RNA sequence: GGGCAAUUAGCUCAGUUGGUUAGAGCGCGUCGCUUACAUCGACGAGGUCGCAGGUUCAAGUCCUGCAUUGCCCACCA
């Protein structure tokens, strides 16, 4: 036996062990139809940067499950991949370009795509090696990327099918527009926060009268696009005016607009009268639809005021226009007052620019048709959420779901598979059509929009298995077993996977959804670079080892709740790693090579009371860990083996046997002691392996007698 | 406005079929170090389990109400 170092030095060991596993082919499961597989599709990390601590969380939790099930003898697949992460990657790469003083428009669509692709591939490789360093025992041989051609074809297949089924439509609707990214966003991609602003009260003169209607607004500049004023039909103040069918003189313009009645208007708020701008407000858009009001677009896609707003204002940005409108109203004596006001303002999730609601031509999914079966599947318990309370959150969202805008005006992503002919014909197909199906013209051009990233990642659990082809892999591994991810993407991703999974394959894509929380520091603060409280997972792996980090990430945490981590906690587990290492070192130096531990029979041993005690404690620990795994309580399992190993095995048994080996009366007693040490260590290594894979494998490899080639494929203790 | 959750030791958190002296890590105190342990061991201090009711032989655990905190969703002009 080699001389073991007196402390555990992860750096020397981890990469060697990982290579051994990879070379051994242990990560690739065999297809064995007599056995039910255990399958996790890894949430594909966005291939646009390096790993952060959140990635370490999913690696840890998923790898724990994977290693446990693999040791139980189940064909276990953990399939990795990478996500192109549409807008996010585009924003990141545009920042790279900005450093060179360039924009994407300087490069043009084709070149931009090419460069972003190269950038993504480079990051992807870095990221994959980082996952290896955390110990991820995933099947690299099957890795996928959302933009690779097979996956893209499957995504187009779904698009076409949904279009033919009438579930995808194209229409001119009001959407969330990011003036910086110059793209539409789905409702989920808009983040709201409270901001201080002014509520402006403006008098709108009534035609042929000296009276006014006073409206209150937070966006006075949009009045230039007003096409009505609305009041609640029950509002006594306005009932007479409504009857008279009056016209209102829109200030600063020469337009006359009607007064309409609409229940959406709250009597209590402001003056009870609302200016209606269907082109630039979602509620106003709905009011406009109902009352067939015209839409005037006074803000363009760059956030600038258009000619439609009048020559005095055209070309201004929104803020300047607001200032000028206020000044002009004041001059005319129509400005009543401005009050301080707090309300929530939406901004782009990726670049934080304030959202401009705009009317434009976009693609949408009629989502209710997909949501219904997705709700039903959960009600029928075909899918179970862990923790359970997410079931209600899921229902709450799914029952109030609205159509999903899936087109983006960005370049990085799957280009929408629709082609237009000059004759006005539109063709939706998987492959680029040669000629127009109506006029036979070959002059077709493809829709310039790309698909929302989540439309493709929503199909990830089956597109990775070459669906819609019914391959062996698809038949064997789909539906998958567990989807493990952060609860923050429950709606973005999990809900969409369930909807699209049922729609595309007729089956739920997974049976369990395990949702982990957000990582925070020991003061419960979100980790962010600006706060300087980030823990770089690779940095701590260098310092303390992957095993210590993994253990620190599961210990004392439970599904769904925030994960509190600090350097102190990681250090505590580095100490535990060292404890295991030294216990093993002590045991190994006492197991002389002349006895064949594997051949010893229990009947030949002379157990003491203490021996029976530790053996029964060991069995109890195995049972508790088993129960904890059944309930997805990984922290409990970790805490059980921690407590057992340190405070029972090390503190009691090893100390006891240490004395017996030194002063033991007879050989039989000493042999029994040695066997206990060996046996309990071996079983403990197995129980510890899902949590601390590197250290345990290294010790296993040093055992004088090992039943298998590697611990990773050992039999789980019963 | 609708919804979800949390409240347990100085700090950060576990405690999911209700059942013996409520646990861990870090921190704190005393002692020890005998050759596995840049440490470790032994012992210890510290909790009316947010508040008030209720169900029960038995409640941190179930029910009701209240308080405080956090989060999510929503068309707060």
pLDDT in tens, A24-36: 999 999 899 999 9
Q: How far is the CA of A617 from the C1' of B32 (A)?
A: 28
Q: How far is the CA of A579 from the C1' of B43 (A)?
A: 21
**pLDDT higher than 70, residue A665:** no
**pLDDT higher than 90, residue A309:** no
Report the nucleotide nearest the CA of residue A643, measured to C1'.
B24
* Distance (Å, whole) CA A689 – CA A70: 11
In the prediction, which pLDDT does A2 show? 56
* Distance (Å, whole) CA A580 – CA A700: 12
Q: Whole-angstrom distance between the N-terminal and C-terminal Cα of chain A?
A: 29
**pLDDT higher than 80, residue A533:** no
User: In this predicted model, what pLDDT tens digit does every residue of A34-88 receive, in sequence order?
Assistant: 999 999 999 988 877 778 888 999 999 999 999 999 999 999 999 999 999 988 8
Residue that is written with structure tokens 């609860």 in the block: A487
Average of per-residue pLDDT values in chain A:
90
In the prediction, which pLDDT does A361 show? 93
- A272 C-beta less than 7 Å away from strand B: yes
Neighbours of A668 (CB within 10 A): 12
Q: How far is the CA of A115 from the C1' of B68 (A)?
A: 53
Q: Considering the domain boundaries, does residue A156 fall inside one?
A: no
Q: Considering the domain boundaries, does residue A246 fall inside one?
A: yes
- A427 C-beta less than 7 Å away from strand B: no
- A701 C-beta less than 7 Å away from strand B: no
- A260 C-beta less than 7 Å away from strand B: no
* Distance (Å, whole) CA A335 – CA A326: 7
Protein chain A, residues 491-510, with a C-beta closer than 7 Å to any atom of nucleic acid strand B: 491
User: In this predicted model, what pLDDT tens digit does every residue of A562-602 receive, in sequence order?
Assistant: 888 888 888 889 999 999 999 999 999 888 766 677 778 88
* Distance (Å, whole) CA A2 – CA A589: 10
* Distance (Å, whole) CA A143 – CA A139: 7
Domain end among A356, A379, A414: A356
* Distance (Å, whole) CA A2 – CA A9: 15
Protein chain A, residues 509-568, with a C-beta closer than 7 Å to any atom of nucleic acid strand B: 520, 522-524, 555-559, 561-562, 564, 568
DSSP one-letter code for A37: -
**pLDDT higher than 70, residue A1:** no
Domain end among A298, A326, A356: A356
DSSP one-letter code for A426: E
Residue that is written with structure tokens 């060292």 in the block: A578
Query: Domain containing A660 — which CATH number?
Result: 1.10.730.10
**Which residue's CA lies closest to nucleotide B39 at its C1' atom?**
A575
Query: Domain containing A190 — which CATH number?
Result: 3.90.740.10
* Distance (Å, whole) CA A472 – CA A477: 8
Q: Where in the sequence is the domain holding A201, given as residue range(s)?
A: 184-356
In the prediction, which pLDDT does A602 show? 81
Q: How far is the CA of A99 from the C1' of B12 (A)?
A: 41
Q: Considering the domain boundaries, does residue A125 fall inside one?
A: no
Tokens for A202, please give them: 């403006």
pTM score, whole prediction: 0.92
* Mean pLDDT, rounded, for A177-190: 91
* Complex-level ipTM: 0.90
Strand-pairing partners, residue A194, are A344
* Residue with the larger pLDDT of the pair A597 and A536: A536
Report the nucleotide nearest the CA of residue A390, measured to C1'.
B4
In the prediction, which pLDDT does A593 show? 64
* Residue with the larger pLDDT of the pair A509 and A350: A509
Q: Considering the domain boundaries, does residue A234 fall inside one?
A: yes
Report the nucleotide nearest the CA of residue A639, measured to C1'.
B24
Half-sphere exposure of A1 (CA within 13 A, CB side): 22
- A245 C-beta less than 7 Å away from strand B: no
Q: Considering the domain boundaries, does residue A5 fall inside one?
A: no
The count of domains in chain A is 2
* Mean pLDDT, rounded, for A671-690: 92
User: In this predicted model, what pLDDT tens digit does every residue of A322-344 receive, in sequence order?
Assistant: 999 999 999 999 999 998 888 88
A206 — phi, psi (to 5°)?
-90, 135
Q: How confident is the model at residue A636 (pLDDT cuts 50, 70, 90)?
A: confident
Q: Considering the domain boundaries, does residue A640 fall inside one?
A: yes
**pLDDT higher than 60, residue A311:** yes
Q: Considering the domain boundaries, does residue A683 fall inside one?
A: yes
* Distance (Å, whole) CA A33 – CA A156: 31
Burial A85-95 (b: 16+ CB within 10 A, else e): bbbbbbbbbbe
Q: Considering the domain boundaries, does residue A93 fall inside one?
A: no
User: In this predicted model, what pLDDT tens digit does every residue of A96-110 receive, in sequence order?
Assistant: 999 999 999 999 999
- Which residues lie below 8 Å from residue A440, measured CB to CB, with a gap of 6+? none
Neighbours of A422 (CB within 10 A): 11
* Mean pLDDT, rounded, for A694-713: 93
Handedness of CA A232, A237, A240, A244 (dihedral sign): negative
* Mean pLDDT, rounded, for A656-662: 84
- A275 C-beta less than 7 Å away from strand B: yes
Report the nucleotide nearest the CA of residue A220, measured to C1'.
B77
Report the nucleotide nearest the CA of residue A628, measured to C1'.
B16
* Residue with the larger pLDDT of the pair A668 and A482: A482
Domain end among A306, A321, A356: A356
Protein chain A, residues 352-371, with a C-beta closer than 7 Å to any atom of nucleic acid strand B: none
In the prediction, which pLDDT does A594 show? 61
| Strand B footprint nucleotides (protein C-beta < 7 Å) | 2-6, 11-16, 23-26, 36-42, 72-77
- A345 C-beta less than 7 Å away from strand B: no
- A654 C-beta less than 7 Å away from strand B: yes
- A169 C-beta less than 7 Å away from strand B: no
């Amino acid at each position: 036996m080699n001389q073991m170092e007196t402390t555990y030095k992860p750096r020397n060991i981890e990469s060697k062990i990982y290579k051994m596993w990879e070379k051994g082919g242990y990560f690739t499961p065999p297809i064995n139809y007599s056995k039910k597989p255990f399958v996790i599709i890894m949430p594909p990390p966005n291939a646009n940067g390096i790993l952060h601590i959140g990635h370490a969380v999913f690696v840890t939790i998923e790898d724990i499950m994977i290693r446990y099930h693999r040791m139980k003898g189940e064909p276990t697949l953990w399939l990795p991949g990478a996500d192109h992460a549409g807008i996010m990657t585009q924003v990141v790469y545009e920042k790279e370009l900005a450093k060179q003083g360039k924009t994407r428009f300087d490069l043009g669509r084709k070149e931009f795509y090419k460069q972003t692709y190269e950038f993504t591939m480079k990051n992807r490789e870095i990221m994959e090696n980082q996952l290896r360093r955390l110990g991820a025992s995933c099947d690299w041989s099957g890795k996928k990327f959302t933009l690779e051609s097979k996956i893209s074809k499957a995504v187009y297949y779904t698009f076409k099918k949904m279009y033919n089924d009438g579930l995808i439509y194209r229409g001119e609707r009001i959407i969330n527009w990011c003036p910086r990214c110059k793209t539409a966003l789905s409702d989920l991609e808009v983040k709201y926060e409270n901001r201080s602003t002014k509520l402006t009260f403006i008098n709108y003169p009534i035609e042929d009268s000296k009276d006014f209607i006073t409206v209150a607004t937070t966006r006075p500049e949009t009045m230039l696009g007003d096409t009505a004023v609305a009041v609640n039909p029950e509002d006594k103040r306005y009932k007479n005016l409504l009857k008279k069918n009056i016209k209102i003189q829109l200030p600063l313009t020469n337009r006359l607009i009607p007064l309409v009645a609409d229940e959406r208007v709250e009597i209590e708020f402001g003056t009870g009268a609302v200016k209606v701008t269907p082109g630039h407000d979602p509620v106003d858009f709905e009011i406009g639809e109902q009352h067939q009001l015209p839409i005037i677009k006074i803000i363009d896609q760059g956030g600038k005021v258009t000619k439609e707003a009048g020559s005095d204002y055209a070309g201004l940005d929104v803020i300047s226009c607001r200032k000028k409108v206020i000044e002009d109203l004041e001059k005319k004596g129509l400005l009543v007052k401005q009050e301080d006001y707090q309300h929530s303002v939406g901004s782009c999730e990726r670049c934080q620019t304030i959202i401009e609601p705009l009317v434009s031509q976009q693609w949408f999914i009629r989502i209710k048709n997909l949501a219904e079966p997705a709700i039903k599947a959960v009600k029928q318990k075909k899918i179970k959420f862990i923790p359970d309370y997410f079931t209600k959150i899921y229902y709450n969202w799914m029952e109030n779901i609205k159509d999903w805008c899936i087109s983006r005006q960005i370049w990085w992503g799957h280009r929408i598979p629709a082609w237009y002919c000059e004759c006005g014909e539109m063709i939706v197909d998987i492959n680029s059509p040669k000629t127009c199906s109506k006029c036979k013209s070959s002059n077709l051009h493809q829709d310039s929009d790309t698909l929302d990233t989540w439309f493709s990642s929503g199909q990830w659990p089956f597109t990775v298995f070459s669906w819609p082809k019914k391959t062996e892999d698809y038949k064997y591994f789909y539906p998958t077993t567990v989807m493990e991810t952060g609860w923050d993407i429950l709606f973005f991703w999990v809900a969409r996977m369930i909807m699209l999974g049922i729609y595309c394959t007729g089956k739920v894509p997974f049976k369990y959804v395990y949702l982990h929380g957000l990582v925070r520091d020991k003061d419960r603060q979100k980790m962010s670079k600006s706060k300087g409280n980030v823990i770089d997972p690779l940095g701590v792996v260098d310092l303390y080892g992957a095993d210590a980090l993994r253990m620190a990430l599961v210990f004392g945490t439970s599904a769904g709740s925030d994960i509190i981590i600090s350097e102190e906690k990681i250090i505590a587990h580095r100490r535990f790693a060292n404890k295991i290492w030294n216990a093993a070192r002590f045991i190994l130096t006492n197991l002389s090579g002349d006895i064949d531990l594997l051949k010893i029979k229990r009947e030949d041993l002379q157990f003491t009371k203490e021996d029976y005690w530790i053996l029964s404690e060991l069995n109890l620990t195995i049972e508790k860990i088993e129960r904890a795994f059944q309930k997805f309580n990984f922290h409990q399992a970790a805490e059980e083996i921690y407590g057992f190993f340190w405070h029972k095995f090390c503190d009691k048994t090893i100390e006891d046997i240490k004395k017996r080996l030194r002063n033991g009366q007879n050989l039989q007693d000493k042999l029994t002691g040695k066997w206990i040490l060996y046996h309990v260590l071996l079983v403990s290594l197995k129980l510890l392996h899902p949590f601390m894979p590197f250290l345990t494998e290294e010790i296993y490899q040093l055992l004088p007698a090992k039943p298998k080639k590697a611990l990773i494929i050992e039999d789980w203790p019963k």
